[in-house]
Amino acid sequence: MVMVCYYTHLLTPVGWVRFSIAKPSVLRAETNNPMASDLSSDRSVFRGVSSSSPIRRRDLVFIVNPRGANGRTGKEWKKLLPYLQSRLGSDCNICESLTSGPSHAIDITREAIREGADAVIAVGGDGTLHEVVNGFFWDGKPVANWNTEAVHSTALGLIPLGTGSDFARTLGWKNDPREAIDRIARGVRSQIDVGVISREGEGSHYFINVADIHLSAKAGYYASRYKKFGNLCYVIGALQAFIGHHNQDLRIKVNEGEWQTLSQVTALCVGNAKYFGGGMKITPNADPHSGSLEVVILQDFKWYDFILKLHKLYNGTHLSLNNVTSRNVYTIEVDEISGGGNIFIQSDGEHLGFLPRKLSILPGAIEMIC
């Protein structure tokens, strides 16, 4: 007998166990073939597991976007299951939860944290990681375990299996899912910063990687339409964004100071980490352990500048250019001057709408398995 509520696949010492859920209850488990996980249409939310083992087993929730990278994420995840079982199955209760659409990973993460999961692991690209990070928060506050006497908090984990893995690059991780599983097995934690984006009258939005404004955000908006082309989607998105693009004067307020005017801004990037757009080292001095954000501002760039200087943007040497500036901040408010309401903003590749916005740092907001 296993205590379970609302989730589909549990990995136990004897293999994958699948449940037919009617309502929260104590259910009889039917043991299938250890390789039986088939990325079915069942959806799940972790609700907690009680083990008869005298040693408490870690409860791990793996959130998988099976359609990520044109379905490659689901296929690669299925191939990983035997190694996952051999590496973690003897010490952990494992819940596989497949997302069914946008924001589903946010809901799963919040439920997992409330029910006391030891870790929530994003399986996929930066988009899945972005949703999981947002699931750590609710109504402007961190989500809390319903068990107020719990001795552990829920950690964030990552198995990169998507179109882009820019955050993993910042941490120096190889794009190797088995290596990621080994990290999860060790369970070493480190506190990392999270960026928060706010606007008067709206809820907060969180980012772990890079938030960007104007041309780069517009390029990301278009790139999301071409995910089927892999990393080439970023190039296609940038080309489409250039059509009809005009540099704009913006105003900023740094660390609650006075408003400043920036002329002819091409892009403004706010980094908690270093990379975006499939490997572009846009905020090369950003560090998710630093307690601050790096702001990089590109001004008066022409279309041919990106062709001539693209290599500098990818290797992080663009800060030496005369029309590129960088500073570390704790908060930055950004608004347009023209009042057109058409300056794009995105974070971690997700379109958030248009200016104005305030971006701030939350130091050490999440524990991450590293």
Give 289-304 pLDDT, tens digit per residue.
999 999 999 999 998 8
Catalytic residue among 126, 193, 212, 348: 126
Give the type of residue at 192.
I
Q: What share of the chain is helix, strand, coil (3-state, %, to 5)?
A: 25, 35, 40
Range of the domain at 295: 204-364
Residues 217 and 270 in one domain: yes
71-to-6, 163, 291 alpha-carbon distances in Å = 25, 10, 36
Distance CA 226, CA 248 (A): 26
Collapsed DSSP state (helix, strand, coil) of residue 307: helix
In a domain, 3, yes or no: no
Domain count, the chain: 2
Q: For residue range 300-317, what is the model confidence (pLDDT) as tens digits?
A: 999 888 889 989 999 999
Active site residue 126: yes
Residues 109 and 170 in one domain: yes
Which of 155, 187, 219 terminates a domain? The answer is 187
Lowest mean pLDDT among 22-26, 217-221, 249-253: 22-26
In a domain, 8, yes or no: no
Q: For residue range 207-217, what is the model confidence (pLDDT) as tens digits?
A: 999 999 999 99
Distance CA 77, CA 79 (A): 5
Q: For residue range 238-274, what is the model confidence (pLDDT) as tens digits?
A: 778 888 899 999 999 999 999 999 999 999 999 999 9
Distance CA 6, CA 36 (A): 19
Residues 212 and 315 in one domain: yes
Enter the DSSP assignment of 305: H
In a domain, 332, yes or no: yes
Residues 210 and 351 in one domain: yes
Residues 176 and 70 in one domain: yes
In a domain, 310, yes or no: yes
Confidence of residue 360 (pLDDT cuts 50, 70, 90): very high
Task: Give this prediction's pTM.
Answer: 0.84
Lowest mean pLDDT among 34-48, 107-121, 175-189: 34-48
Residues 125 and 211 in one domain: no
In a domain, 40, yes or no: no
